[in-house]
Amino acid sequence: MKLFAAVFPPLPVRRDLRATFTDLPALEGLRLVAAENIHITMLFFGAQMAAPPAVARELEKVASASAPFEVEIAGASGFPASDRARVLFASVGAGGPQLSRLHDGLVVAIGPSFTSSGTDRFHPHLTLCRPRRRLAAGQFEALQQQARPRSWRFMADALHLVRSHPGPGGSRYEVLGSFMLAG
pLDDT tens digits, residue range 152-167?
A: 899 999 999 988 888 8
Amino acid at 84: R
Query: In order of start, what are the domains of the chain with their CATH numbers?
Result: 2-180 (3.90.1140.10)
Question: Which residues are paired to 6 by β-bridges?
Answer: 41, 160
Q: pLDDT digit string (tens) for 14-29?
A: 998 888 877 777 677 7
Catalytic residue among 39, 103, 123, 165: 39
Q: What is the pLDDT of residue 94?
A: 92
Q: What is the mean pLDDT of the chain?
A: 81
CA 111 to chain centre: 21
Catalytic residue check, 39: yes
The mean pLDDT of 129-144, rounded to a whole number, is 74
- pLDDT of residue 172 exceeding 70, the answer is yes
Edge-to-edge strand list for the sheet holding 158-165: 40-44, 2-7, 158-165, 172-180
Q: What is the pLDDT of residue 1?
A: 59
- pLDDT of residue 139 exceeding 90, the answer is no
Q: What is the pTM of this model?
A: 0.85
Per-residue pLDDT band for 181 (boundaries 50, 70, 90) equals: very high
Per-residue pLDDT band for 7 (boundaries 50, 70, 90) equals: very high
Catalytic residue among 103, 123, 125, 160: 125
Alpha-carbon distance values, 13 to 45, 57, 137 (Å): 26, 28, 30
The mean pLDDT of 126-137, rounded to a whole number, is 76
Catalytic residue check, 123: no
Q: What is the pLDDT of residue 46?
A: 63
Burial of residue 20, with CB atoms counted within 10 A of its CB: 0-12 exposed, 13-18 middle, 19 or more buried? middle
